[in-house]
Amino acid sequence: MAPHDAVLGWDENTTAEAYAAFTRDYPMYSATSRDLAHRAQITDSNLVVDLCGGAGATAEAILTLAPAQARVISLDNAAAMQRVGRRMLPDPRLTWVTAPAEDLTTHVPTGSVDAVVCNSAIWKTDVPTVFAAVHRVLRPGGRFVFNIGGGFAGIRHADENTIRTGLSLNHLIQQIAARDHGYTPPPATDAPPKLPLSTVAGELAAAGMTVLDTEITAQHSTVAEKKAWLSIPVFARPDGDFTHEQRMAILEKAYALTAPDAPTVTSWLVVVAQRPEEAQ
C-alpha cells in the first residue's frame, strides 16, 4: 500500500493553491522537471505520462521539450491540484486524469507510452505496483525517469555537506516549538531509508525494467525558498497537534533568526530506467 500521507492533505484547495504558487515563484520544481524531461529523451515522442503530476509543473516542462504533435497525460489522485493545473496550463495537448498512480494501466493503453516521468512523488506510491504498471504502459525502449528526495533515498550530495550556514530552518522550528509549546521532537533513529537505490533497482528489475543511469544531484536554493516551501500546508512543521496558524507563527519566528539569502542544498537521487527493446 502507499504511505498513508500520500494523499492526505493534497486534495485541498489551500494546499493546491499554495503549492502552485510555489512552483511559479521558486525554481525547484521547474528545474527538477526540466532535468527529468531532458533525461527522458522525449524530443521524438508521441505520448508521455506525467505521473503524480500535481498542478502541472512537470507537464509544462514535458510540453516544452516534446514535439508539437505529442500528447501528455498528467495523472494525479488529487482533484484539487488538477483543478489549479487546468487553470494554469490550458494546453490542448495535455489531458488531466484524476486517479492514483497504481491505476495507471486503467487509463493508459498497454505499450503506448514513449516515456513516464515522475517528479518528487514516487515515494507516495506503492512502488512495486507502480513499477509494474509503468512497464506495461511503456513501449519497448521507452524510458521511466524519476527522482527521490535524499532523505528517502539515504543519500547526500557533496554540496550538502560543504554549504553550512548555522542551524537549519527545520531545527529552529523544533527549538521554538519546544520553547513556546512544550513540543518534544521525535527521537532520532537509525531506521534505514525508505527507498535506497538497492531497493529501487531490485523493484525495477522485478518489474522487467533495466536501470540505464543514476545520479545524485543537488538543488541549490535559499532559506527564503525553504520558508515558502514549509508554508505549504502539507509540508508545514512541526508534526503533532498544531493548527496551521500555529505552525505558521512558529515558522515566522524561526525564519526571523535566519538570513533569507543564505544558501541551502537539497539532494536528489535521479533514476533513468527503460523497458528493454524486444528481442528480434
Record the pTM.
0.94
Domain for residue 152, yes or no?
yes
Write the CATH number for 70: 3.40.50.150
User: Which residues, 6+ apart, have CB-to-CB distance to 238 below 8 Å?
Assistant: 173, 174, 177, 183, 185, 247, 250
Residue 183 lies in a domain: no
Query: Tens digits of per-residue pLDDT, 145-167?
Result: 999 999 999 999 999 878 766 78
Among residues 195, 213, 199, the alpha carbon closest in space to that of 40 is found at 213
Q: Is residue 111 part of a domain?
A: yes
pLDDT score for 164: 64
In a domain, 236, yes or no: no
Count of domains for the chain: 1
6 falls in which pLDDT band (50, 70, 90)? very low
Examine residue 237 and state whether it is found in any structural domain, yes or no: no
Q: Each residue of 209-233: pLDDT tens digit? A: 999 999 999 999 999 999 999 999 9
Residue 53 lies in a domain: yes
Residue 215 lies in a domain: yes
Q: Is residue 229 part of a domain?
A: no
Containing domain of residue 46, as a range?
13-160+190-219+265-274
Which residue(s) pair with 239 in the sheet?
none
